[in-house]
Amino acid sequence: MSEQAVYEKLIARLRTWLFDLPDSELLMPLMKLRFSNEEAEFLFSFPFIPATLDRIAERMKVPEEILIQKMKPMIEKGLIFTFEGKSGARYAFTDHMFSLYRMPGWKGENDEWTREILSLANEYYINHFGADFAGRPTKALRAIPLARTIRDTRQILPYEDVLEYVEREEYHSVSTCACRHRHNLDPRFATCKHDTENCLHFGKLGSYTVEQGMGRRISPEETREILRKAADAGLVHGTSNSRKGVDTICNCCSCCCLFLEPVKMPALLRGKHQRSNYQVRHDAQTCKTCGLCEKRCPVKAIELKEREVAPATEACIEPEATDLKFVAYNPDQCIGCGVCVHKCPTQSLSLILREKEEDIPETPSELAGRLLKERGRDMSGIF
């Protein structure tokens, strides 16, 4: 099989999984930069669903000892995910969101290969990939608010309390923010002012990132401090989009995050985090219209506007005062992150429950099923 045919077969294989890979003149160079020819040939028959070594060996018709040798460098490169299951180690081919947009930035490296692949990945995402990734009803990440921004703390839903995850998980790690890093290494983008080491992982993913040199283990206290600083800086807490099995808390800025940055697609399909179950309540009586909420909102759901002024008449030579302003809020645009609430100097903003609860997938498997269904694919036939 020719080299070109090997990569074409790999692309076809990746297109059967969670996200599409739109055609582009950038796609083949990106694939060749990320996968060697030998890796591409090996991986196009590797399972996406985590499987034990004996099952993979049977599927690929490769002895287990040879399989281990072949997989080891690909595990280190973030092409194969591994963890210890109840019946031993399990392995899975990582999706292209993981291998192209997450792993290359987690290490925070600034070498020639990293700069080249992140620059190419940026261009491909903005012009092509983002249309599939962001322009679907179900997102891979959802906004989660800080408990203190919710007006009635008795209304905090268990799967929407960010500190609940911190207390529940035993293994914590932190990596470089992959989104911020890929922008900071690309001269076409302005350098982001926010901290870069604040991409949090837990459990199996947390231990995997540490073992493969993509992050470092931290304590729950360090995790809480990172979240505190991120909230103060106006970053959006984003978690894996399921009620159970959460393995990530991102701290996202609107200039770099895959879920918030603009991509070339119809405006009505602009992607963002799956929104939380909360929306903003504004108290106009105490509001001083300082404009801080407008500046902090990552999705432009809040605007400070001037009131219309009546024109001058014979009875009123001068128009009414023009410095009166008001806060305009769009609940449909709002993702319920609480970023605006957190720093409101007059506490005129709070989060309240939306009238209808968001339809959040129960488990990662259900999330994967929805992503596949929205792309016309059948999860039951994938191994």
List C-alpha distances in Å: 266 to 127, 131, 163, 298: 12, 8, 36, 19
Report pLDDT for 161: 75
Contacts of 312 (CB under 8 A, 6+ apart): 318, 319
Residue-by-residue DSSP string for 70-130: HHHHHHHTTSEEEEEETTEEEEEEPPHHIIIIIHHHHT---SHHHHHHHHHHHHHIIIIIH
Report pLDDT for 321: 43
Report pLDDT for 50: 94
Cα separation, 221 vs 167, whole angstroms: 10
pTM score over 0.75: yes
Q: What is the CATH number of domain 278-311+322-353?
A: 3.30.70.20
Collect the ranges in the chain with pLDDT lower than 50. 267-268, 312-323
Report pLDDT for 147: 63
Structure tokens at 366: 């259900």
Report pLDDT for 17: 92
Angle, nearest 10°, between helix axes 112-124 and 27-34? 150
> Beta 302-306 vs 325-329: how paired, if at all?
antiparallel
Cβ neighbours of 66 (radius 10 Å): 11
Per-residue pLDDT tens digits for 65-104: 999 999 999 999 999 999 998 888 999 999 999 999 999 9
Name the β-bridge partners of 328.
303
Cβ(203)–Cβ(85) below 8 Å = no
Structure tokens at 352: 């309240």
Report pLDDT for 155: 60
Report pLDDT for 168: 86
Residue ranges per structural domain of the chain: 3-275+357-381, 278-311+322-353
